[in-house]
Structure 1
Amino acid sequence: MNILKGDLIQFALAGRFDVIIHGCNCFCSMGAGIAKLIRDDFPAAYQADLKTGMGDKEKLGTYSHARIEKNGNIFTVVNGYTQYDFSGHGTLVDYKAIQKLFSRIKNNFTNQKIGYPKIGAGLAKGDWEVISNIINKELQGEDHTLVDYVEF
């Protein structure tokens, strides 16, 4: 896992990544955190999310996606379904869903530059050490980068 400090969205817009991934709940809300920023900056990604079943627990570990062409760059935004709900006590992220998601990412986006935030470790209250180990295992051999958010 490469680590880069900065803004995932700005890096995507600058052509740094072929694919950016963020975690979503299964209720098509994209109403907080980086999901809200992606919804606002890339409406096609939100439209892809809305085409999935609202509240469908079977989405866990899957994703929707949108191809974005902006600023002369082309990249894919992946809405990864890594948690069922968006509120509640305790850990909301589903570690098995993280594993399934990144296994799918490896199969479907191999040999591409992949960027992501600390998926599942923010609002979903997951343990980043556990999550990063899953990601490293599933994306072994791929060019993948954690973008640790820093506002410039």
Structure 2
Amino acid sequence: MKTVTGDLLQFALDGKFDVIVHGCNCQCQMGKGIALSIKQRFPEAYAADCRTTKGDERKLGTFSEAEILRGTRSFHVVNAYTQFHWRGTGIKADYEAIRKAMGAVKSRFSGKRIGYPKIGAGLAGGDWDLIRSILEEEFAGEDHTYVEFSL
């Protein structure tokens, strides 16, 4: 896993990634954290999320996607369903859903440059060390980069 510091969304706009992946809940909200930034900057990704069934637990471990076209740049935003909800306290990240979703992302986007934030370890409260190992296993052999947010 490569690690860089910066703004994942700007990196995508600058052509550094073909695919960016973030963790989503199954409630079609995208109301906080990087999901909110994605919703605001790339409404196509939110529209893809809204085309799924709100509150459907079967979405866990799957994803929706949107192709983003900005000028001459094109990339995909992947909404990976890695937690069921956002309410309450405690860990909301579902480690098995993270594993399944990342495996599905690898199948769909193998050979592409993939960037992601700290999926499941921010607002979802998951253990980053465990999630990092899942990402490394599921994206083995792929060009994938963790982007630690910084302006």
Alignment TM-score > 0.5, same fold? yes
> What TM-score, normalized to structure 2?
0.99
1:71 is displaced (CA, Å) by 3.7
Q: Does 1:60 align with 2:60?
A: yes
Q: Answer yes or no: is the 8 Å Cα contact 1:39–1:46 preserved in 2.
A: yes
Map residues 18-57 of structure 1 onto 2, 5 A cutoff.
18-57=18-57
Aligned mates of 2:14, 2:94 — CA distance in 1: 31
Task: Find runs of 4+ consecutive structure 1 residues off by over 2 angstroms.
Answer: none
1:105 is displaced (CA, Å) by 1.0
Aligned mates of 1:88, 1:96 — CA distance in 2: 20
SS at match of 2:12: helix
Aligned mates of 2:119, 2:147 — CA distance in 1: 10
Instruction: Determine the structure 2 residue equivalent to 1:129.
Output: 129
SS at match of 1:49: helix
Deviation digits for residues 12-38 of structure 1, max 9, x if unmatched?
Answer: 000000000001000000000000000
Aligned mates of 1:124, 1:87 — CA distance in 2: 10
Instruction: Determine the structure 2 residue equivalent to 1:103.
Output: 103
Q: Residue type matched to 1:61 in 2?
A: G
Instruction: Determine the structure 1 residue equivalent to 2:83.
Output: 83
Q: Answer yes or no: is the 8 Å Cα contact 1:14–1:71 preserved in 2.
A: no
Q: Residue type matched to 2:72 in 1?
A: G
Aligned mates of 2:70, 2:118 — CA distance in 1: 24
> What TM-score, normalized to structure 1?
0.98
How many residue pairs get aligned? The number is: 151
Q: Answer yes or no: is the 8 Å Cα contact 1:13–1:71 preserved in 2.
A: no
Q: Residue type matched to 2:86 in 1?
A: F
* Structure 2 segments unaligned to the other structure (5+ residues): none
Instruction: Determine the structure 2 residue equivalent to 1:118.
Output: 118
Aligned mates of 2:65, 2:88 — CA distance in 1: 26
Deviation digits for residues 56-110 of structure 1, max 9, x if unmatched?
Answer: 0000000000000114210000000000011211100000000000110111100
Q: CA RMSD in A?
A: 0.5
Q: Answer yes or no: is the 8 Å Cα contact 1:115–1:147 preserved in 2.
A: yes
1:121 is displaced (CA, Å) by 0.3
SS at match of 2:130: helix
Q: Residue type matched to 1:80 in 2?
A: A
